[in-house]
Amino acid sequence: MSTRDWLLDDSPATLLQANLGRAWRMMTALLRNPLAVAGLLIILLLLATALFAPWIAPESPVGQNLQARLLPPSAEHWMGTDELGRDIFSRVVYGSRITLMIVALVAVISAPLGLIIGAVAGYFGGWVDRILMGLTDVFLSLPKLILALAFVAALGPGIENAIIAIAITAWPAYARIARAETLTFRNAEYIQAVRLVGGSHSRIIFRHVLPLCTSSMIVRVTLDMAGIILTAAGLGFLGLGAQPPLPEWGAMISRGRTFILDQWWVATMPGFAIILVSLGFCFLGDGLRDVLDPKQGGEK
Amino acid sequence: MATDATLARRAGRGLSGVGGFVVVTALTFLGLLAITFFIGRVVPIDPVLSVVGDRATQAQYDAARIAMGLDRPLVVQFLDYVWSVAQGDLGKSISTNRPVADDLLRVFPATLEMATLGIFIGVVLGVPAGVWAATRRGEWVDQVMRVFALLGYSVPAFWLGLVGLAIFYAGLGWVAGPGRLDIFYEGLVPARTNVMLIDAALAGDWDVFWNALSHLVLPASILGFFSLAFIARMTRSFMLDQLGQEFITTARVKGVPEWRVIWVHGFKPIRVPLITVIGLSYAALLEGSVMIETVFSWPGIGNYLTTALLNADMNAVLGATLVIGSVFILINKISDVLYRVLDPRSR
């Protein structure tokens, strides 16, 4: 029996075989979608760039060379140099680490937070539900960027505070999804069964409810990544996110603003990096939605 | 025929609908106030310092602490805050030294002018583009529209603004640069509404009008691009739902001309959901204008907010947040109500 047959076996013998088989089917479905593959490649490129930045970047991201100020793109400096003579390509390469850190931390903070709030609200219902969802709805009805700006204003500028502010604005959407999912199987028989054998509320929520919410959550988080990247870059652009000399893409665009009319490359190049990575997450999210969550697809 | 009993029940339901709507809206506003209160008074390590600045003397500091009522319990402070906001008192801005409410009233029309032209562009181009993509499903038009829409989710607004300035202002010279007017046109027309185009038209000064328009067109088009992407995508998906229905096939079989099938039979039913979409993107434009205004030095609420942020002018930041948040909630609720009134199925 080949590995493929073993993976696609209709009656898997072990849990491991069933899980691997499911993962295999999703993988092949995802790889049939050209846009999703493009998105996946872009994300892999981002990961590789962040991981191997010191080997890819020809120069240091912070080393200044005032004799090479504001040079246009050339064979030596692919994306030109900025007002302190730093190689823009090297800075964009190192900037991928900051972007990756921001999206990863925002996802790690906001997704579990929203997941737990939504699952608790949906599972218990009644007043718990009303209070938690009221709070969620208030956050949802407010513009995200403005809310993040106000939080950063109160917390003070800086990349950690920017991450906290974005995470605070991102969790409500996840709480809504988790609640909706929880409601559909709250009264299912297998949940009743766990309750009958004496499973505690926290055991039911963490072991039996949350795992079922993860697939729609993964889709939503991936689709939200583009928005998170744009908000982070916006905060950087306003000088409220990453501080100099960190090579954050939004902050780099902000520095290039002064030179936009004569030395266009300083502000333009980091923008292409932002667009590429955001598009990558959009493509992948679209593809994942078609595979993991066909009912939400709506359009194809 | 409806009996008296059902009529009464229906009227009662309508009333409770209105009552419920008012309660929900009021609660949402209260929630918004709670959030801005929380941001202003609880999150900063020292809210007094964020209002008086770090060069204040101890006496000034203590006076401000008492004046802000920070020695009282948090609940009392919150009720006090709600009461003063209800009276239109948003505190004083430390950078302009004027009441924040007055400042906001002065700058808001500029934002409204830009966002309104933006949504106009978005609707006029976005709706037909979405319908077109739906009728050519899977063809190149559809693919181009899809990539275009995804770009709308991936391009930073401030970057597009800078690139737009570099190309259309510095490069081609088609439009005017940042600001609302060239410097020698400023102060020529009386500020009646603070909407520059209307003021100029009222004064009959067409030179000022055309100058204002050439300043407005680039930032408004960039804002419009973002709403266009969203509106076109939503129109397409609504339209695809309709065009797959059986009555469309029936109309085609009966020999109704194709334009009539699309624009009358297909388009009519989607007008109602489209209103909600347009309302939502109008609200989103107010948010998007924060970045665009910063890039274009446009003296609106977004610029006011970011200037206040950089000066750590907390009252101004919270006031602007509150106003943008309120407009957001209001537009959301209005499009909700319109949906209910216009769509018989949701009654």
Would you say A164 and A106 are in contact if contact means Cβ atoms under 8 Å apart? no
Instruction: State pLDDT tens for residues A100-152.
Output: 999 999 999 999 999 999 989 988 888 888 888 888 888 887 888 888 888 88
Measure the CA–CA gap between A41 and A52, rounded to whole angstroms: 16
Write the CB contacts of A158 (distance below 8 Å, at least 6 apart in sequence).
Answer: A241, A242, A243
At residue A275, the pLDDT reads: 93
Neighbour-count burial of B216, counting CB atoms closer than 10 A to its CB (0-12 exposed, 13-18 middle, 19+ buried): buried
Measure the CA–CA gap between A134 and B30, rounded to whole angstroms: 11
At residue B347, the pLDDT reads: 54
3-state secondary structure string across chain A: CCHHHHHCCCCCCCHHHHHHHHHHHHHHHHHCCHHHHHHHHHHHHHHHHHHCHHHHCCCCCCCCCHHHCCCCCCCCCCCCECCCCCEHHHHHHHHHHHHHHHHHHHHHHHHHHHHHHHHHHHHHCHHHHHHHHHHHHHHHCCCHHHHHHHHHHHHCCCHHHHHHHHHHHHHHHHHHHHHHHHHHHCCCHHHHHHHHCCCCHHHHHHHHHHHHHHHHHHHHHHHHHHHHHHHHHHHHHCCCCCCCCCCCHHHHHHHHHHHCCCCCHHHHHHHHHHHHHHHHHHHHHHHHHHHHCHHHCCCC
Measure the CA–CA gap between A173 and A118, rounded to whole angstroms: 9
Choosing among B43, B240, B285, which should be mutated to test the A contact, i.e. which has the most A CBs within 10 A?
A: B43
- Mind telling me how many Å the CA of A204 is from chain B's nearest CA? 31
CA closest to A226 among chain B residues: B154
At residue A104, the pLDDT reads: 93
CA closest to B41 among chain A residues: A154
Largest CA distance in chain A: 76
At residue A47, the pLDDT reads: 92
pLDDT, mean over chain A: 84
Q: Do B159 and A271 touch (CB under 8 A)?
A: yes
* Stronger pLDDT, B42 or A96, i.e. the higher one: A96
Write the CA distances from A221 to A30, B42, B117, integer angstroms.
Answer: 17, 29, 33
Write the CB contacts of B322 (distance below 8 Å, at least 6 apart in sequence).
Answer: B32, B33, B36, B85, B90
Asked whether the predicted pLDDT for residue A64 surpasses 80, the reply is: no
At residue B96, the pLDDT reads: 80
Q: Do B324 and A260 touch (CB under 8 A)?
A: no
Would you say B193 and B92 are in contact if contact means Cβ atoms under 8 Å apart? no
Instruction: State pLDDT tens for residues A10-20.
Output: 777 788 888 88
Q: DSSP 3-state assignment of B260?
A: helix
Measure the CA–CA gap between B236 and B129, rounded to whole angstroms: 8
Q: Do B240 and A299 touch (CB under 8 A)?
A: yes
B128 upstream amide cis, omega within 30 of 0: no
Measure the CA–CA gap between B331 and B146, rounded to whole angstroms: 27
At residue A272, the pLDDT reads: 92
Output the tens digit of pLDDT for each of chain B's 347 residues.
444 555 455 544 554 566 777 887 888 888 888 888 888 777 766 667 766 777 777 887 787 777 777 777 788 888 888 888 888 888 888 778 888 888 888 888 889 889 999 999 999 999 999 888 888 887 888 888 888 888 888 899 999 999 998 888 888 878 877 878 777 777 777 777 778 788 877 877 788 888 888 888 899 999 999 899 889 988 888 888 888 888 888 888 888 888 888 888 888 888 888 888 888 888 888 888 888 998 888 888 988 988 888 887 888 888 888 888 888 888 888 887 877 777 766 55
Q: Is the pTM of this model over 0.90?
A: no
Measure the CA–CA gap between A253 and A270, rounded to whole angstroms: 6
CB atoms inside a 10 Å sphere around CB B303: 22
In chain A, what is the straight-line distance between the N-terminal and C-terminal CA atoms, in Å?
36
Percentage of residues in chain A having pLDDT higher than 90:
21
Least confidently predicted of A44-48, A263-267, B219-223: A263-267
Percentage of residues in chain A having pLDDT higher than 70:
97
* Stronger pLDDT, A159 or A21, i.e. the higher one: A159
Choosing among A142, A238, A252, which should be mutated to test the B contact, i.e. which has the most B CBs within 10 A?
A: A142
Write the CA distances from A261 to A42, A83, A167, B201, B303, integer angstroms.
Answer: 30, 14, 35, 32, 21
Q: Do A299 and B314 touch (CB under 8 A)?
A: no
A contacts of B44 (beta carbons < 8 Å)? 154-155
Choosing among A149, A258, A289, which should be mutated to test the B contact, i.e. which has the most B CBs within 10 A?
A: A149
Closest CA to A266 of B162, B186, B53, B303: B162
Nearest CB neighbour to A268, from listed B28, B163, B294: B163
Q: What is the average pLDDT across A55-84? A: 79
Nearest CB neighbour to A143, from listed B43, B157, B287: B287
Q: Do B150 and A283 touch (CB under 8 A)?
A: yes
Neighbour-count burial of A101, counting CB atoms closer than 10 A to its CB (0-12 exposed, 13-18 middle, 19+ buried): middle
A contacts of B27 (beta carbons < 8 Å)? 134
Measure the CA–CA gap between A279 and A272, rounded to whole angstroms: 10
Neighbour-count burial of B210, counting CB atoms closer than 10 A to its CB (0-12 exposed, 13-18 middle, 19+ buried): middle
Asked whether the predicted pLDDT for residue A245 surpasses 50, the reply is: yes
Would you say A67 and A85 are in contact if contact means Cβ atoms under 8 Å apart? yes
At residue A297, the pLDDT reads: 44
At residue B84, the pLDDT reads: 83
Asked whether the predicted pLDDT for residue A295 surpasses 60, the reply is: no
- Mind telling me how many Å the CA of B7 is from chain A's nearest CA? 31
At residue A42, the pLDDT reads: 93
Instruction: Mark out the alpha helices in chain B (DSSP H runs).
Output: 4-37, 47-52, 58-67, 74-86, 100-135, 140-154, 157-164, 196-203, 206-243, 246-253, 258-260, 267-296, 301-310, 314-342
